Amino acid sequence: MNDVTRRTPDMLVLDDKQGTASASRVRAPLIDAFQRRISYLRLSVTDRCDLRCTYCMPERMTFLPKREVLTLEELYELSSGFIDRGVTKIRITGGEPLVRRDIMDLFTALGRRLGHDLEELTLTTNATQLAGHADALAKAGVRRVNISLDTLDRARFAELTRRDALPQVLEGIAAAKAAGLKVKLNAVALLGVNEHELTDLIAWAHGEGHDVTLIEVMPLGDVEQERLDQYLRLDTVRTRLEERWSLTDNEHSSGGPARYVDIAETGGRLGFITPHSNNFCATCNRLRVTATGQLYPCLGGSERVDLRAALRSDAPQEQLEEALNKTMLIKPERHHFRMDKRGADPALARHMSMTGG
């Protein structure tokens, strides 16, 4: 174990000297077998959540025993290992990251690396608890947050997430804006659920100054519902939006898989994430790590490398390096999601709440 793993959570707050010192440690960059340079880590800090979105997990979800989950110190050490290999952007995700106790300590510690060897620290959240954390996130150096919101209708929200939490979520979004965080809303387009509300959702978000990204549902994990009954193609949504608004393609990239358009009438930007109808793998620059330290080089693949074993070994830094090198050899060229067979088993057994978004 090295110094970082021995730190207690409150000691995770590094002083400036330590942040700068680590800047000089950059090792060989992460480049996979298809010459894609990896610069972006999505780090899940918990598989737990206070909502139960019907497309994400079943009501009676089984969560991991806490002892299996990486400690905050391990999450920090692991992040450092990625930063040392040229990762410049880290998105904290889950499950719901803000349900993890003391998670702000991790934001504060990683925030100290901003301006040194880390360019961006962000968060994906359902915003139920964002009102209480928005100021602290901004103080830690977070500038942008992705917030998942599929509907503005309270009854539909309660049905869709199985929790009556829309007022808290709206409060969280308002708090983020007030704290100066740039908000992007993510909405999963769901057949027969929110499909006829998407224009209102986009118009509201753009009126508030927030970008929006629409996402196609992916067949990850058993959710006790037929996936095909949830799946709405985004080219259908785009066609419908074009009946009402003027959409112009925009070259903007957020470093993620979304393609963007500007909407003349709302003055806002809209992204489309279309894993099925438009494959986005060729420019993939991401790796995902679960809360138990399992590294998945592809959201749609079962390839996996155990970083927890590396972290808990006698030589964590060397083992971590070796594990990352191995990952570069097995990151697949593309995913093979299919959404064309009724009654099919999930493409992958793991839920999106394991790897985050």
Residues that bind ligand SF4 (CB under 6 A): 49, 51-53, 56-57, 94-96, 126, 148, 353
Gap between the Cα atoms of 225 and 328, Å rounded: 35
Q: Is 141 left (phi over 0), alpha (psi -120 to 50) or beta?
A: left
Using the Cα atoms of residue 142, residue 189, residue 258 and residue 297 in order, give the sign of their dihedral: positive
Cβ nearer to ligand SAM, comparing 111 with 275: 275
| 339 belongs to the binding site for ligand SAM (CB under 6 A) | no
Q: Which of 128, 117, 124 is nearest to 273 (CA)?
A: 124
Q: Does 56 bind ligand SAM (CB under 6 A)?
A: yes
Does residue number 108 form part of the binding site for ligand SAM (CB under 6 A)?
no
Q: For the purposes of burial, counting CB atoms within 10 Å of the CB of 91, is it exposed (0-12), middle (13-18) or buried (19 or more)?
A: buried
| Residue of 261, 233, 265, 266 lying closest to 247 (CA atoms) | 261
User: At its nearest, how many Å lie between ligand SAM and the CB of residue 190?
Assistant: 10
Q: Residue 294, interface with ligand SAM (CB under 6 A)?
A: no
Contacts to ligand SAM from residues 139-158, by CB under 6 A: 148
* Residue with the CB atom nearest ligand SAM in the bound state: 357
Q: Distance between CA 128 and CA 162 in Å, rounded?
A: 13
If one asks whether residue 300 binds ligand SAM (CB under 6 A), the answer comes out as no
Smallest separation (angstroms) from ligand SF4 to the CB of 160: 9
Q: Does 83 bind ligand SAM (CB under 6 A)?
A: no
CB of residue 164 to ligand SF4, shortest distance in Å: 14
We find the least distance from the C-beta atom of residue 181 to ligand SAM, in angstroms, to be 14
- Specify the 3-state DSSP secondary structure of 41: strand
DSSP symbols for 263-292: ETTTTEEEEEE-TTTS--GGG--EEEE-TT
Q: Does residue 296 contact residue 289 with C-beta atoms inside 8 Å?
A: yes
Tokens read off for 42: 């999505």
**Is the CB of 294 or the CB of 353 nearer to ligand SAM?**
353
Determine the angle formed by the axes of helices 16-23 and 72-84, rounding to 10 degrees: 40
> Which of ligand SAM, ligand SF4, none lies near 320, with the C-beta cut-off 5 to 8 A by kind?
none
CB of 147 to ligand SAM, least distance (A): 7
168 binds ligand SAM (CB under 6 A): no
Q: Look at the chain and count its residues.
A: 357
User: Which one of ligand SF4, ligand SAM, none interacts with residue 52, CB within 5 to 8 A by kind?
Assistant: ligand SF4
Nearer to ligand SAM, 271 or 293 (CB): 271
Which residue in the set 83, 106, 188, 339 belongs to the binding site for ligand SAM (CB under 6 A)?
188
CA 5 vs. chain centroid, Å, equals 25
Q: CB 106 → ligand SAM: shortest distance, Å?
A: 15
Closest distance between ligand SF4 and the C-beta of residue 165, in Å? 9
Q: Which CB, 268 or 357, lies closer to ligand SAM?
A: 357
Distances (CA, A) of 141 to 13, 23, 144, 179, 256: 13, 17, 9, 11, 20
- The partner in contact with residue 125, picked from ligand SAM, ligand SF4, none with C-beta cut-offs of 5 to 8 angstroms by kind, is ligand SAM
- Between residues 53 and 273, which has the closer beta carbon with respect to ligand SF4? 53
**Nearer to ligand SF4 (CB atom), residue 19 or residue 95:** 95
**CA–CA separation, 7 and 320 (whole Å):** 19
Q: Report how far residue 43's alpha carbon sits from residue 51's, in angstroms, rounded to the nearest whole number.
A: 19
Residues that bind ligand SAM (CB under 6 A): 49, 55-56, 93-94, 96, 124-126, 148, 186, 188, 215, 217-218, 220, 352-353, 356-357
